[in-house]
Amino acid sequence: MVVASRLPVDRVDDPDDPDRAPEWRRSPGGLVTALEPVMRAANGVWVGWPGSAGPALGPFEADGMPLVGVGLSEADVADFYEGFCNATLWPLYHDVIVPPMFHREWWESYVTVNRRFAEAAAEQAAADATVWVNDYQLQLVPGMLRAMRGDVRIGFFNHIPFPGYEIFAQLPWRRQIIDGLLGADLLGFQRHSDTTNFLRACRRAAGRTTRGSLIRVPDPAGVREVRAAAFPVSIDAAAFGELARRGDVLARAREIREAIGKPDVVLLGVDRLDYTKGIRHRLEAYSELLDEGRLQSPGAVLIQVASPSRERVEQYRLLRDEVEVTVGRINGDHGELGSTPVHYLHQSYPREEMAALYLAADVMLVTSLRDGMNLVAKEFVACRNDETGTLVLSEFTGAADELVGAYLVNPHDIEGLKDTIMRAVTASPAEARRRMRSMRRRVYENDVAHWAASFLDALKGSPHHQRQGVSS
Ligand code: F6P
């Protein structure tokens, strides 16, 4: 069983026809990209929220997957999802790029909603089931679920960074979060540095003793040992590679280049519209390269896909305004009739269109200020079957640990970012191929099946798992 704040699909109702059966649309984010193929292969149950306020849906099936829909009221969406998850934890865990907000009523809602998820999981999990809880929205679920169902094996994976202790310590509820997480048998993180940050938080915030990757936790049956380790998440590389071989996708990639005026160089950014992604830094660097004549429009074009995200959270609204003003300024300064230096698309696209965009690009720009992994970087690499194309990649992404063939960059250093973009634009075909080949090897070897298998194998072998009988 997977438990995640979101289901892999969002429920979309027709406001003009409330009697019409809902449609189901793929939900955004890296978590779904990673877990969907794993759950399809395992035929496991997925417990999550369908993305809009409404009652619990219970068990149902959509898109061929067994799902259990947890309900959130309008107040839960405001206090739990938009509040504690996305205006407290999200900025805190991403190194306070914007100031996190601490509100006691948001915390209360986080506890209530986490309990609801734990209850849904406890109700639906088979005897001795393996339950895999995911991400920062549900950090109390492992502890709550363990109290309800001592028979199940509990894994937790954090898809976003775990911050250094000096930052984590700001959280008024730091002790409760650590205790909740330590209900799991195994805790997985993206990078080794996230794991060491977490181990330190266990010692400092909760007074736990750690030995290597093991944390000692008092338990009614004695002492449990919980393991924390890095498992870098990935994608279904072969599926992306296949998609990028399809005739219609290749034709669409050619069509995209024609539609934007057959430029010499296509730069591409693909992100949720989120302040962690460094979209403003990227636009600033591109704009200065145009100002300085190092890149020229219409020879160079930037396509920026910014998929809508968390649109009612204030910082996201502010970011959208800033990005759109900047895009407007660049196009005003450098555009001509019939040529546009930035094609900005505030939309979400199906996977086929994404693959076509990856193929249409020459240089992929991933300039996150902080990012757990960044699966877009891996998707781009997986699609480049002909080994062309270059990747500019922020060193503050989890992907930077693995994709050493990328042009690594500190996105805060605008001069460095500009120089790195130019190196990626002007790389010789042989150099680009050498780098792409090494990245492709890595992405195809360490794919999502490898990630899931290593996490689940480690969970199976996790130390001192106590069997206490089924209590539901
Ligand atoms: O991958 C990180 C993540 O926050 C997921 O947990 C989440 O589902 C996704 O990004 C998209 O965010 P949201 O669910 O808030 O739209």
Q: Of 76, 179, 371, 447, which residue is the catalytic one?
A: 371
Q: Is the CB of 26 inside a 6 Å radius of any atom of ligand 1?
A: no
Q: At what angle do helices 375-383 and 30-42 cross, to 10 degrees?
A: 70
Q: Are residues 374 and 398 in contact, defined by beta-carbon separation less than 8 angstroms?
A: yes
Q: How far is the CA of 6 from the centre of ligand 1 (A)?
A: 8
Q: Is the CB of 298 inside a 6 Å radius of any atom of ligand 1?
A: no
CA dist 42 and 45 (Å) reads 9
Please give the pLDDT value at position 471: 33
Report residue 115 as tokens: 């309990």
Three-state helix/strand/coil letters over 404-427: CCCEEECCCCHHHHHHHHHHHHCC
Q: Is the CB of 135 inside a 6 Å radius of any atom of ligand 1?
A: yes
Q: Is the CB of 30 inside a 6 Å radius of any atom of ligand 1?
A: yes
Q: Is the CB of 31 inside a 6 Å radius of any atom of ligand 1?
A: yes
- Per residue in 385-417, is it b (16+ CB within 10 Å) or e — as a string? eeeebbbbbbebbbbbebbebbbbbebeeeeeb
Tens digit of each residue's pLDDT, the chain (472 residues): 999 999 999 988 888 888 888 889 888 888 898 899 889 888 899 999 999 999 999 899 988 899 999 999 999 999 999 999 999 999 999 999 999 999 999 999 999 999 999 999 999 999 999 999 999 999 999 999 999 999 999 999 999 999 999 999 999 999 999 999 999 999 999 999 999 999 999 999 999 999 999 999 998 889 999 999 999 999 999 999 999 999 999 999 999 999 999 999 999 999 999 999 999 999 999 999 999 999 999 999 999 999 999 999 999 999 999 999 999 999 999 999 999 999 999 999 999 999 999 999 999 999 999 999 999 999 999 999 999 999 999 999 999 999 999 999 999 999 999 999 999 999 999 999 999 999 999 999 999 999 999 999 999 998 645 444 333 2
Q: Is the CB of 376 inside a 6 Å radius of any atom of ligand 1?
A: no
The best mutation among 2, 10, 25, 31 to test binding of ligand 1, ranked by most ligand atoms within 8 Å of the C-beta, falls on 31
Q: Is the CB of 348 inside a 6 Å radius of any atom of ligand 1?
A: no
Residue 59 β-bridge partners: 68
Q: Are residues 47 and 116 in contact, defined by beta-carbon separation less than 8 angstroms?
A: no
Q: Is the CB of 161 inside a 6 Å radius of any atom of ligand 1?
A: no
Q: At what angle do helices 247-259 and 351-360 cross, to 10 degrees?
A: 60
Atom of ligand 1 nearest to the CA of 30: 1
Atom 11 of ligand 1: nearest residue by CA position: 29
Q: Is the CB of 159 inside a 6 Å radius of any atom of ligand 1?
A: yes
Q: Are residues 3 and 156 in contact, defined by beta-carbon separation less than 8 angstroms?
A: no
How buried is 211 (Cβ within 10 angstroms: 0-12 exposed, 13-18 middle, 19+ buried)?
exposed
Q: How far is the CA of 356 from the centre of ligand 1 (A)?
A: 24
Q: How far is the CA of 308 from the centre of ligand 1 (A)?
A: 12
Please give the pLDDT value at position 465: 52
Q: Is the CB of 6 inside a 6 Å radius of any atom of ligand 1?
A: yes
Atom 7 of ligand 1: nearest residue by CA position: 29
Q: Is the CB of 29 inside a 6 Å radius of any atom of ligand 1?
A: yes
> Cβ atoms within 10 A of the Cβ of 458, count?
16
Q: How far is the CA of 135 from the centre of ligand 1 (A)?
A: 8
Residues 6+ apart with CB under 8 A from 301: 260, 261, 263, 265, 266, 267, 340, 341, 342, 343
CA–CA distance from 355 to each of 29, 239, 240, 249, 449 (Å)? 16, 11, 7, 7, 20
Q: How far is the CA of 272 from the centre of ligand 1 (A)?
A: 9
Specify the amino acid at residue 218: P
Q: How far is the CA of 290 from the centre of ligand 1 (A)?
A: 34
Catalytic: 371?
yes
Instruction: Give rounded-to-5 percent helix, strand, coil for the chain.
Output: 45, 20, 35
Atom of ligand 1 nearest to the CA of 28: 11
Q: Of 76, 79, 94, 159, which residue is the catalytic one?
A: 159
Q: How far is the CA of 316 from the centre of ligand 1 (A)?
A: 14
The answer to whether the bond into 99 is cis (omega within 30° of 0) is: no
Please give the pLDDT value at position 14: 84
Report residue 242 as tokens: 């296949």
Atom of ligand 1 nearest to the CA of 135: 6
- Give the residue among 229, 266, 206, 177 at the shortest CA–CA distance from 459: 229
Q: How far is the CA of 29 from the centre of ligand 1 (A)?
A: 5
